[in-house]
Amino acid sequence: MAVADSVGVPSDATPRPGPPLWLLLELTYRCPLHCVFCYNPTDFANVGRELDTDQWVRVLREARALGAVQLGLSGGEPLARDDLEIIAGEAHALGYYTNLITSGIGLTEARIAALKSAGVDHIQLSFQDSTREMNDFLSSTRTFELKAKVAALIKQHDYPMVLNVVLHRLNIDHVGDILAMAERMGAEYVELANTQYYGWASLNRAHLLPSRAQLQRAEQVTQEFRARLGERMRIFFVVPDYFETRPKPCMNGLGSVFLTVAPDGLALPCHAARMLPGLDLPNVRDVSVQSIWYDSRAFNRFRGEGWMKDPCRSCPQRTRDFGGCRCQAFLLTGDPDNADPVCDLSPHHHLVTSAVAQAERGSAEPGPAERGAPTPGERPLIFRDHRTSIPVSSR
Amino acid sequence: MTAITRKPAIGHGFRLQWEPAQSAHVLLYPEGMVKLNGSAGAIMSRCDGSHTLEEIVADLEKTFGVRGLSGDVSAFVSMALEKNWLEMR
């Protein structure tokens, strides 16, 4: 087994994986917004040049041949690529179901019409909050009115509307207003996605983690909307895993269904996996998608159970949660083979509970004057930006 | 009522297609996918908005050489309508 591991071949106990059903193309890390909770790598400014159109099309073709069918076009802001329509058109011709994941910035009437005729199936639009003040503060832009216009365009072009709002301490108390806004806009789906603490969000965790009381109120309000609206507006509430005692089955296990290709062509088993040490991630410029998915050491590294340590190794939950999130295990404990510390069986669980306890102590909602202002012993909110990218990441 | 003459079709925002890699019909929707079993795939692939439920049942019975499918097909279609996988035209 040690030998098999060293050449990246799964052991006999690991069955051949199924196809990469879900393909996420992060077309660019360029983005007009500067969100404090962005999961993009904090050193994105150091990432090499973007793949060109032909290279993206080749990735689409190779992954589709393996069985990929759900496609996310994301970023950064994918509209920053002026070949988005070409890429979307190729994806449609190949038979993908194409999800455009966007802030809406740059989605003009002409571009939405072109994307519709290229065959984009659905547009997921992000909002930062229900109010102009908070939306614009959290993204460090003046974009609220623009997003509202884009929401109307999405309806006019007969798309199912999916609104995505990332929740955290500064906006979670507005869930009622956020859902009312979604209802007015005629959203079919709303994703209330509590912040996951990777990338920029990890830097800003002390500002963003809500209190348990805030979380419970938000869930209650969500239930009231669900009871009233039923299937008309489906609401997904993604619980922040710091408040759980069992970890999420992250990516259904790395290398099981999910493949991300980053702007520079790096292939990742999860969009945050660039941070994992020693993974030796393959690049689509050098290797075929088939070889990456089935043969690369990086994609085989966390398949099966051979990599697990105690307590996961002997835990009956391991077939359900796969030990949780490898990136979170690495970020919090320094070792990606450890149990995700969200799990209360993890010897590192106190790292999560102490962060939650700290959030409880600082849970009073800050007034507008305090937002983003440094408090004693705490660094200020860091906005995702080229200027902050390099110094932050070299800390 | 119009129930007899109305024709089931794939719901707005959903797409049905055959996936060779999964040897199955799948139903695709925003950021999600349902892999259909053989019977569900056979029913859904006939819901093209130009055939009534009665015609679909007759076609299935003929194709598979069985009778008495009406109850099962109706139950599946009701469930699929509830989930918005299908809509009546």
Cα separation of the two ends of chain B: 14
CB A31 within 8 A of CB A80: yes
CB pairs under 8 A between A and B: 50
Indicate the pTM of the whole model. 0.89
Q: Over chain A, what is the mean pLDDT?
A: 88
Cα angle, residue B21 at apex, residues B19 and B26 outer, rounded to 5°: 30
pLDDT higher than threshold 80 for residue A1: no
Q: What are phi and psi of B27, to 5 degrees?
A: -110, 120
The per-residue pLDDT for range A173-187, each reduced to its tens digit, is 999 999 999 999 999
pLDDT at A2: 35
More confident residue, A139 or A228: A228
Q: What residue in B sits closest to A73 (Cα-Cα)?
A: B31
| A233 DSSP 8-state letter | S
* Per-residue confidence band for A161, with pLDDT thresholds at 50, 70 and 90: confident
Residues in chain B: 89
pLDDT at B81: 94
| Residues forming beta bridges with residue A126, ordered by sequence position | A164
Would the CB atoms of A121 and B31 count as touching at under 8 Å?
no
Would the CB atoms of B33 and A97 count as touching at under 8 Å?
yes
Would the CB atoms of A67 and B29 count as touching at under 8 Å?
no
Of the candidates A95, A121, A231, which has its C-beta nearest B84's C-beta?
Answer: A231
Residue A187 corresponds to which tokens in the numbers above?
């959203």
Chain B contact set for A21 (CB, 8 A): 22, 33
CB A144 within 8 A of CB A135: yes
The per-residue pLDDT for range A67-98, each reduced to its tens digit, is 999 999 999 999 999 999 999 999 999 999 99
pLDDT at A378: 61
The per-residue pLDDT for range A231-266, each reduced to its tens digit, is 889 999 988 899 999 999 989 999 999 999 999 999
The per-residue pLDDT for range A34-76, each reduced to its tens digit, is 888 888 888 888 888 999 999 999 999 999 999 999 999 999 9
Chain B contact set for A159 (CB, 8 A): 13
The C-alpha atoms of residue A306 and residue A13 are separated, in whole angstroms, by 9
Would the CB atoms of A67 and B26 count as touching at under 8 Å?
no
| A266 DSSP 8-state letter | B
pLDDT at A173: 94
Cis bond leading into A380, ω under 30°? no
Chain A residues within 8 angstroms (CB to CB) of chain B? 19, 21, 66-67, 69-70, 72, 95, 97, 99, 121-122, 124, 159-160, 162, 188-189, 231
Cis bond leading into A76, ω under 30°? yes
The C-alpha atoms of residue A52 and residue A81 are separated, in whole angstroms, by 10
Q: What residue in A sits closest to B82 (Cα-Cα)?
A: A231
The per-residue pLDDT for range A345-355, each reduced to its tens digit, is 999 999 999 99
How large is the angle between the packed helices A84-94 and A53-66, nearest 10 degrees?
20
- Please state whether A366 falls in left (phi above 0), alpha (psi between -120 and 50) or beta: beta
Q: What are phi and psi of A393, to 5 degrees?
A: -75, -15
Would the CB atoms of A69 and B19 count as touching at under 8 Å?
yes
Chain B contact set for A258 (CB, 8 A): none
Q: Residues of A232-252 as b/e, b for ≥16 C-beta within 10 angstroms?
A: ebbbebeebbbbeeebbbbbe
Chain A contact set for B33 (CB, 8 A): 21, 69-70, 97
Of the candidates A66, A69, A99, which has its C-beta nearest B31's C-beta?
Answer: A99
DSSP letter string, B31-59 = TEEEE--HHHHHHHTT-BSSS-HHHHHHH
* Per-residue confidence band for A16, with pLDDT thresholds at 50, 70 and 90: confident
DSSP letter string, A66-77 = HT--EEEEESS-
Q: Which residue type occupies A281?
A: L
The C-alpha atoms of residue A187 and residue A189 are separated, in whole angstroms, by 6
Which of B29, B34, B81, B85 to mutate to test binding with chain A, by most A CBs within 10 Å of its CB?
B29
* Per-residue confidence band for A14, with pLDDT thresholds at 50, 70 and 90: low
CB A270 within 8 A of CB A250: yes
Distance from CA of A59 to the nearest CA of B (A): 17
Q: How many CB atoms lie within 10 A of CB A199?
A: 24
Distance from CA of A189 to the nearest CA of B (A): 9
pLDDT at A11: 45
Distance from CA of A120 to the nearest CA of B (A): 11
Of the candidates A19, A66, A160, which has its C-beta nearest B30's C-beta?
Answer: A160
The per-residue pLDDT for range A216-227, each reduced to its tens digit, is 999 999 999 999
- Please state whether B45 falls in left (phi above 0), alpha (psi between -120 and 50) or beta: alpha
CB A10 within 8 A of CB A256: no
Chain A contact set for B20 (CB, 8 A): 67
Alpha helices in A230-348 (DSSP H): 289-295, 297-300, 318-321, 326-333
The C-alpha atoms of residue A293 and residue A255 are separated, in whole angstroms, by 7
DSSP letter string, A302-314 = TSSSTT--TTGGG
DSSP letter string, A180-218 = HHHHHHT-SEEEEEEPP-SHHHHHTHHHHPPPHHHHHHH
Which of A16, A22, A70 to mutate to test binding with chain B, by most B CBs within 10 Å of its CB?
A70
